[in-house]
Amino acid sequence: MGDIITLLPDHVANQIAAGEVVQRPASVVKELLENAIDADSSYVQLIIKEGGKTLIQVIDDGKGMSITDARMAFERHATSKIKSASDLFELHTKGFRGEALASIAAVAHVEMFTHSLEDEIATQIKIIGSDIQEQEPVVAPKGTSIAVKNLFFNIPARRNFLKSNAVELRHIIDEFHRVALAHPQIAFTFFQGGNELFDLPATNLRKRISHIFGSKMDVKLVPVKESTSVSSVSGFVLKPAAAKRTRGHQFFFVNDRFIRSPFMHHAIMNAYEGLLPEGTVPGYFIFFSLDPKTIDINIHPTKTEVKFEDEQSLYAILRSCVKHSLGMFSVAPTLDFDRDPNLDTPYNQINKQAETPNLEVDSNFNPFKNPDVQRFSKPKEASWESLYVEVESQPIPTLLGHESMEHKTYDAVKLFQLMNRYIVSSIGSGLLIIDQQRAHERILYEQFLKTITQKQIASQQLLFPYPLDLTPTQQLLLSDLEDVLSEAGFVFERNTKTNITIKGIPVSSSEKEIPHIFENLFASLESDLPSDSFSQSDVLSKSLAKTLSIKRGVPMKPIEQQGLLDDLFACKETQISPFNRQIFVILTKEELEKKFN
Ligand code: ADP
Ligand code: MG
């Protein structure tokens, strides 16, 4: 057999490399924005069309490129940022691999204008799939404009793999947030399909955060600052009262580069100990400034993990300075007029339900008068029933209207609530133990799905329209879901780019739940925004079910327990919650008998 090994042609090698660097439009956005920042720009514009599938353009006013550099920039391993391996330990730029432009040009149509500070004339270059189509001198402003069109035009499999425009846009917005937060001193604008999504003037970090996430953020920010001889930590954490059930505003940056770090996240959680309502996560914007020598610089272009040389002490510094800031904040009330009075009591105490004494006889109890318990016919059981304390719980909408319903397979008399969390009932084969929250999630989920898909719109008009501030991103998500939302019963009006008025809500919700409904909805949309209407209905129904369900720890009246069971067993699926969790367990006679062996 003769020689069979050959070197791959450049355009093939570039396409392979592109597979790693360019995963989706958001990766292109990240690379182009980072190049613009490395070029010392003071104003960067991002323009996107169709989730970046047809156009991603970044225009900067940075140092530009010479005629030769303009062409060199698209060669693989072509970089102006390092010259030797030792430079790797002194990195102060975002890029250094010289791979991004070559990779992008291998899988798209690229058109660049660039004008360096020294040159009289600008250069225009057009490349299609690594082939330079034209390069000529032109007139253009100082700086660089790169337009990337028809991404993956030559790799149909990759192109088909892209998600809906809305999902791709969501990823782009995430990248944009990260870069814009890391560089508040640079002005940014972001246009999508002709609409301005962001207009961020050059400012400080505090104001940048509010410009991106809404003006209400400002009062929630607590500054954090600490420096040692080798490192410094700075930024903001959010007040405990602003903690959310969902991940959202968690940002770490190392030398102005966004990173993920479960380890440092843990340090922050630790600092908040005792201050957070259960199940919530605090928001933070933390910047580490470290000697480049002490971090692993060989960061993969698409990865956001980083290795620290001295992870342990960084953890300790972060934890203690966050703790210190939170402490300062609550013990020095006179210094801070924005202070949240809730901080006087540890958070997990404030939100605790008052304990209800378990045994208390209702002396007014009359089984024949109280419609709730009329069907508990056996007198002995009825007085047992009176041991229930009448807790004034919230009326739970979908559980009402069961007064006249006949109970079915389970025996209502032997129905009770355990630990304010489970509904327990005796059934023929043993003991049925139902998780109240999961059961209610299932019930609400099926109800909402039915309302939406069958368009049985059931909306209640609000007496006082409810204004809601949104970020531009949230507005955008909302417009994608507009049809499904209105089918679920929401009526709203847009006022400005960041403000809407809610005029109607689904009948099974109440006004005070509006902020939670939207907070949870946006959180679930952030992870995925489906494009087809069925999946949208599914996401919305799940989110509403999660928000509006009876939570663990909430006492339920017998009538409500009964209703919950009736509703659950009327569901199409009774065993698994919409979040794939088991709704009930049955303890069989045999299992019980074994325990008494
Ligand atoms: P890297 O950023 O790793 O050096 P890239 O492929 O992203 O590799 O870019 C190659 C080179 O092109 C950069 O090193 C830089 O010299 C030049 N370049 C890219 N984008 C710009 C820009 N917006 N302004 C000025 N120079 C740029
Ligand atoms: Mg680069």
Q: Which atom of ligand 1 is nearest to the CA of 60?
A: 23
**Amino acid, single-letter form, for residue 66:** S
Per-residue pLDDT of 126-149, as tens digits, reads 999 999 999 999 999 999 999 999
Q: What is the pLDDT of residue 400?
A: 38
Is pLDDT of 389 > 50?
Answer: no
Q: Tell me the mean pLDDT in the region 300-324.
A: 84
Q: What is the pLDDT of residue 221?
A: 93
Rounded to whole angstroms, how far apart are CA atoms 104 and 56? 11
- First-residue to last-residue Cα distance in the chain: 76
Q: Which atom of ligand 1 is nearest to the CA of 94?
A: 2
What residue owns the CA closest to ligand 1's atom 27?
35
Contacts for 5 with CB less than 8 Å, ≥ 6 apart: none
Sort 36 into a burial class: Cβ within 10 Å, 0-12 / 13-18 / 19+.
Answer: buried
Rounded to whole angstroms, how far apart are CA atoms 30 and 100? 10
Q: What is the pLDDT of residue 266?
A: 93
Q: Tell me the mean pLDDT in the region 241-252.
A: 85
Q: What spacing in Å lies between the alpha carbon of 98 and ligand 2's midpoint?
A: 6
Is pLDDT of 354 > 60?
Answer: no
Q: What spacing in Å lies between the alpha carbon of 188 and ligand 2's midpoint?
A: 18
Rounded to whole angstroms, how far apart are CA atoms 29 and 32? 5
Which ligand gives the minimal distance to the CA of 87?
Answer: 1
What residue owns the CA closest to ligand 1's atom 21?
35
Per-residue pLDDT of 501-558, as tens digits, reads 999 999 888 888 898 899 888 887 766 666 677 788 888 999 999 999 999 999 999 9
Lowest-pLDDT choice from 85-94, 106-115, 319-328, 405-414:
405-414
Which ligand gives the minimal distance to the CA of 98?
Answer: 1
CB 447 within 8 A of CB 487: no
Is pLDDT of 413 > 50?
Answer: yes
Lowest-pLDDT choice from 53-62, 324-333, 341-350:
341-350
Q: What spacing in Å lies between the alpha carbon of 268 and ligand 2's midpoint?
A: 31
Q: What spacing in Å lies between the alpha carbon of 160 and ligand 2's midpoint?
A: 26
**CATH class of the domain whose range is 10-202:** alpha beta
Q: What is the pLDDT of residue 303?
A: 66
For a ligand 1 pocket test, name from 38, 111, 302 the mutation site with the most ligand atoms within 8 angstroms of its C-beta: 38
Is pLDDT of 304 > 80?
Answer: no
Question: Per the structure block, which two tokens stand in for 207?
Answer: 């104001």
**DSSP 3-state percent helix, strand, coil across the chain (nearest 5):** 40, 25, 40
Per-residue pLDDT of 178-235, as tens digits, reads 999 999 999 999 999 888 899 999 999 999 999 999 888 899 999 999 998 878 999 9
Three-state DSSP at 576 gives: strand
Q: What is the pLDDT of residue 565?
A: 92
Q: Which atom of ligand 1 is nearest to the CA of 101?
A: 6
CA 244 to chain centre: 10
Q: What is the pLDDT of residue 297?
A: 61
Question: Per the structure block, which two tokens stand in for 379?
Answer: 């007198």
Sort 295 into a burial class: Cβ within 10 Å, 0-12 / 13-18 / 19+.
Answer: buried
Q: What spacing in Å lies between the alpha carbon of 77 and ligand 2's midpoint?
A: 11
**Amino acid, single-letter form, for residue 382:** A
Q: Tell me the mean pLDDT in the region 442-471.
A: 88
Three-state DSSP at 125 gives: strand
Q: What spacing in Å lies between the alpha carbon of 90 and ligand 1's midpoint?
A: 18
Is pLDDT of 343 > 70?
Answer: no
Q: What spacing in Å lies between the alpha carbon of 69 and ligand 1's midpoint?
A: 9
For a ligand 1 pocket test, name from 35, 113, 144 the mutation site with the most ligand atoms within 8 angstroms of its C-beta: 35
Q: Tell me the mean pLDDT in the region 402-407.
A: 41
Three-state DSSP at 460 gives: strand
Which ligand gives the minimal distance to the CA of 99?
Answer: 1
Q: What spacing in Å lies between the alpha carbon of 39 and ligand 1's midpoint?
A: 8
For a ligand 1 pocket test, name from 69, 92, 101 the mutation site with the most ligand atoms within 8 angstroms of its C-beta: 101
Q: Which atom of ligand 1 is nearest to the CA of 63?
A: 25
Q: What spacing in Å lies between the alpha carbon of 21 and ligand 1's midpoint?
A: 14
Q: Which atom of ligand 1 is nearest to the CA of 143?
A: 24
Nearest to 585 by CA among 452, 447, 431, 358: 431
CATH T-level topology, domain 393-597: formyl-coa transferase, domain 3 (3.30.1540)
Three-state DSSP at 97 gives: coil
Q: Which atom of ligand 1 is nearest to the CA of 62?
A: 24
CB 237 within 8 A of CB 267: no
The fraction of the chain above a pLDDT of 90, given in percent, is 49
Q: What spacing in Å lies between the alpha carbon of 70 and ligand 1's midpoint?
A: 9
Per-residue pLDDT of 27-83, as tens digits, reads 999 999 999 999 999 999 999 999 999 999 999 999 999 999 999 999 888 888 877
Three-state DSSP at 499 gives: strand
Nearest to 432 by CA among 564, 555, 542, 554: 564
Pocket of ligand 1 (CB under 6 A): 31, 35-36, 39, 60, 62-65, 73, 78-81, 95-101, 144
CATH T-level topology, domain 210-328: Ribosomal Protein S5; domain 2 (3.30.230)
Output the CA–CA distances (angstroms, integers) from residue 1 to 5, 7, 79, in the order listed.
Answer: 12, 18, 40
Beta pairing class for 422-427 and 415-418: antiparallel
What residue owns the CA closest to ligand 1's atom 17?
73
Is pLDDT of 243 > 50?
Answer: yes
- Per domain, the residue ranges of the chain are 10-202, 210-328, 393-597
